[in-house]
A and B are shown apart, each in its own frame.
Chain A
Amino acid sequence: MVNKRGLLTFASNPVIASTGVTVGPLEVKKSPFSKYADKNYDDERCGLKTNEQGHAKMMEDACMIALSKLDKTPTDAEFVLMGDLVNEMTPSNFAASTIGVPYLGMFSACATSVSSLLMAALLTESGMAELVVAGSSSQHNAIERQFRYPLQYGSQKGATAQWTVSAAGVATIIPHIEGAPIIACGTIGIVTDLGLTDPLNMGAAMAPAAADTFKRHLEGHGSTVDDYDLIMTGDLGKIGFELFKTLLDRWDYDVSSVFRDAGAEYYGKHPEFLAGASGSGCSASAYFSEVYDKLLSGTYKRVLLIATGSLMSPLSYQQGDTIPCIAHAVEIQMK
């Protein structure tokens, strides 16, 4: 008997009607994903006084762009579901305050892109919403200072370290229409903790969560690897992605070229980014830009997006606790 725990199926086929992606100045220079973005900034604070204000501005702009593509204004939207990594998610709170849409803060760390998308699909599926905005974001400077050292502090980073992206990705979800990518089903992750403690090797900590959600999704929804044109994890980074593929290989899945990781690819081949990218803006800006565009153009017909998040805080790892991790999956189809 198939275990149905945590599985979501959206029979009414809600769709992603539009997306809005904003990226920071470094991403424009170094990231292959930035060419799909809608807006970028010359300044990482977006011309504002603090990094956190810039963070909120990126989120707000992404929401406005996604809505404007539908010729809608924030007054038309019924819910906004979004989150980030700053304490109490103040950037999302301020962005929500500016756009003035009924708001639910979402936190799944770097997996918020998918968790907010799934909840938006659920609201639409239930018939309680005609237009939901969902997304997540991160801003390098604001996140680094919270989780690690001051930005200019000279500490040597190892090959496992990842670089928090400055980007926001937002999608608008509406009931089914023709010609838009359908949110078909999803899987809510189970928190997985295999006892890793190094906050500078989050990819390795998150890989088992991604593998677990992947397996549960395929078994639960009765699909196989061959059904997908793309299976993309969130921000495992180069090392975490290797571990993820090794785990799947051990479970006898065919680890083919349909597998990609947004974090590992985010900064191309630039060696200074070490293991790649992380942050809740990483998966959001990759999924809602390149992947969404390729779904629209028909390059991809069926994709599985598994966003991963490490649910630790600076306090928890300084106290010697392990890093609990989560991964949420969403399956998007284009008919």
Chain B
Amino acid sequence: MDEKKYQQLEQQITPKPKYLKNCINAFVVGGLICFIGQFVALFYISFFDFTERTASNPTVATMIFISMLLTGFGYYKKIAQVGGAGSAVPITGFGNAMISAAIEHRSEGYVLGVGGNMFKLAGSVILYGVFSAFVVALIKTVLVGLGVVSW
């Protein structure tokens, strides 16, 4: 059988991903997570001595903690099946990537298992996140130096 012909047939029969529905779901789920995050931030600003800028650290920690519980009890992957990128992109998705790997590799012990594998999925997020932040900062520094924009 011809490879090309079969791949065409496969394309015909395989259902197409529902991009619009997935986008709407991702928007709603992602928005909802950020909405909750906003409340957490407001909570820290109103009840503790945090400013809008400094409240982001405890907010992120709280969101990751919630994500950890949801992951551990098996709910996060159910949310993700609906939410897609909406649940993967916020910090809770990053938390889920680390925590799910940690739970998975618990059976191989704390050092080679949990320690060695925790960043298996999250590692690329950190690497490319840090690298893109560096590039963006570099561009901004140059632009500020040229007097195009200000800090």
Contact = CB atoms under 8 A, between A and B. Distances in A.
Interface of A: 49-52, 145, 149-160, 194-196, 201, 204, 208, 212, 239, 242-243, 246-247, 272
Contacts of A52: 107
B83 A152 contact: no
A73 B99 CA distance: 45
A150 B9 CA distance: 32
Contacts of A145: 104
Contacts of B88: 154-156
Given A158-B17, A194-B3, A152 B103 contact: yes
* CB-CB nearest 8 A-B residue pairs: A154-B80, A150-B104, A152-B100, A150-B100, A153-B100, A156-B84, A50-B107, A195-B3
Determine chain B's interface SS by DSSP, over half rule.
helix
B7 A195 contact: yes
Contacts of B100: 149-154
Interface stretch (B40-48, B57-65, B71-79, B139-147): B71-79
Contacts of A155: 77, 80, 88
27 contacts: A49-B107, A52-B107, A145-B104, A149-B121, A150-B104, A150-B120, A152-B74, A152-B96, A152-B99, A153-B77, A153-B101, A154-B71, A154-B76, A154-B79, A154-B87, A156-B84, A157-B81, A158-B17, A194-B1, A194-B7, A201-B14, A204-B13, A208-B1, A239-B15, A242-B13, A246-B9, A246-B13
Contacts of B6: 194-195, 208
Interface residues of B, number: 37
A153 to B, nearest CB: 4
A243 B99 CA distance: 38
A235 to B, nearest CB: 17
Given A152-B100, A156-B22, A194-B6, A51 B107 contact: yes
